[in-house]
Chains A and B, each alone.
Chain A
């Protein structure tokens, strides 16, 4: 059949100019490898972000005080979120599974002669399950302890390492603003989240934190865990209405608090990650197009070199279409072979990036190669082959047989 004879002849002519064919292919190889590895980095980043957001807890709503100031000029955080608000939410909003009122601050923590400045959170025992924390050793504090200003504290594993080294922190006494606390538990490590390290923190009862450590009578945030994912929006609306009523906000006036929905955060981060992926992929696609220009260049040279062959083929009856297809097939073979080599190299490059960044940096790139991105890269390279192969092939097909046969 003509098709296979053409493929065979194309392969032979590509092999006859192996170096040149390889160089033409190189553009496609690099382009396809770049598309695949860049998309793998993008997809990996997306997964990493999703994991981090999910690690903050699931079905989570976070109520924070609004910005004070007027006409869009923020001059500080309002001090209007109270324990009574938290209690009212528990009492009046349905669908809430747990709630944790929180106050926070950065405080110097002392053990014997060692110091460490840590993030402290004063909260109830429910904070741990809401935020997806568990204790690796020891225990969490009880409800009565939290209400009764017990001087107990739970530390993150990094904090423990900083203060205690390898010795056992349980039942030891640490000083927070000069007040003694007994270490009752150590959190299980979660890993650095980028903007905040949850392994370097201290958690204590809200009562103790508010009255003795931080001296605050308002809350920094209220964490709400919704029982069912489908109720998240309802709980958000009810909480918002309740707080507006409690804070006597006039209809039409803006909220004096804001409620962040974890699903919204996931969505936002997802969009960032998606944009990032498109950006990387787009840059890589440009290199694939540049590769296409290389193919066009080589094909134009090939057509000129083989003018006489084209003349012979026309003399024995090749139609314009046959000649055009012959050179298109040749361009497609360059793209196809280059694409496959590029795909293999792209997968390899993605893996290598992950290994190297894991080994040499603290913030490794996770790379995830997906079949759709391989298919995308391959079909795009085929498209490039057709687009950039078309002009040379068309030129070949239009050659005048008399002129072509005369060509030396």
Chain B
């Protein structure tokens, strides 16, 4: 099990009223899975993604990632976990504009304190088919190419999971399909991928779909054995 989430709760105070963005979410992810987290906007899927991505901590509940309970770690420890175990792919690519593709891909290794990271970065760019674009700045690349650079950056530290938040949201259908094809290839190579999306077309690419609504999981995408985790 690469992810074990147990009864995650997260509340926000918005304009005086309390919103339970996550209301007791439990589910597991096995290594090598490719799953989609689906839900309409306001369902809590963004909050879930932030907690799974260690960008935020749950108010209560347990989150075990790659064997380590990360639900109560300090912000700096969480930064280390993100660096080592999580690769992010964002809807808006989120590349650093003043660095070229190679430098963008290299950056997580630098934050990990590694030297001579250029070779590995070049290797990752090759994996996503952009070896010849290494020295282009993000604004010289097409949307699909930028997202490939982002995928290469997510891969570079050899993370436990790749967390993609609406990865095709800013791409046309054809380019989006290419990115999903890349995800499939990575999954076949043994990577664990979690795709957060509201598009069922995209979710259909994944073996398993987790549905979330009003802060609760309504369908864990597992046959009856794993059970519907909907709290009572």
A contact residues vs B (CB 8 Å cutoff): 1-2, 5, 9, 12-13, 16, 308-309, 311-322, 401-402, 405
Contact = CB atoms under 8 A, between A and B. Distances in A.
Given A311-B94, A402-B50, 18 more contacts: A2-B110, A2-B113, A5-B106, A9-B96, A12-B98, A309-B97, A312-B95, A312-B96, A313-B107, A313-B111, A315-B55, A316-B83, A317-B83, A317-B108, A318-B79, A320-B75, A401-B55, A401-B56
Nearest to A314: B79
B99 A316 contact: no
B4 to A, nearest CB: 22
A12 B98 CA distance: 7
A402 B79 contact: no
A1 B115 contact: yes
6 smallest beta-carbon distances between A and B, as pairs = A317-B83, A2-B110, A317-B111, A12-B98, A316-B108, A319-B79
A5 B94 contact: no
Interface string B84-128: 100010100011111100010011101111010000000000000
Interface in B46-104: 50, 53, 55-56, 75-76, 79-80, 82-84, 88, 90, 94-99, 103
Nearest to B111: A317
B99 A9 contact: yes
B98 A315 contact: no
Interface of B: 50, 53, 55-56, 75-76, 79-80, 82-84, 88, 90, 94-99, 103, 106-108, 110-113, 115, 153, 157
A315 B110 contact: no
Contact of A319 (B56, B76, B88): B76
Contacts of A309: 96-97
Nearest to A11: B98
B98 A13 contact: yes
Query: Quick one: which of B79, B83, B88, B106 has the most chain A CB within 10 A?
Result: B79
Nearest to A321: B76
Given A314-B79, A401-B55, A402-B56, A319 B111 contact: yes
Query: Quick one: which of A308, A316, A318, A322 has the most chain B CB within 10 A?
Result: A316
Q: What's the dominant secondary structure at chain A's contact region?
A: helix
B52 to A, nearest CB: 12
B55 A318 contact: no
Nearest to B95: A312
A27 to B, nearest CB: 25
B76 A5 contact: no
Nearest to B47: A402
A311 B76 CA distance: 14
A9 B111 CA distance: 14
A401 B57 CA distance: 12
Contacts of B98: 9, 12-13, 16
13 contacts: A5-B107, A16-B98, A312-B94, A313-B107, A313-B111, A317-B79, A317-B80, A317-B83, A318-B79, A318-B111, A320-B79, A402-B55, A405-B55
A16 B88 CA distance: 27
Contacts of A315: 53, 55, 82, 88, 94
A319 B108 CA distance: 11
A1 B110 CA distance: 6
Contacts of B82: 314-317
A314 B81 CA distance: 11
Contacts of A318: 79, 111
Contact of A5 (B83, B110, B157): B110
A372 B161 CA distance: 56
Contacts of B99: 9
Nearest to B90: A405
Contacts of A314: 55, 79, 82
A334 B107 CA distance: 24
A316 B56 contact: no
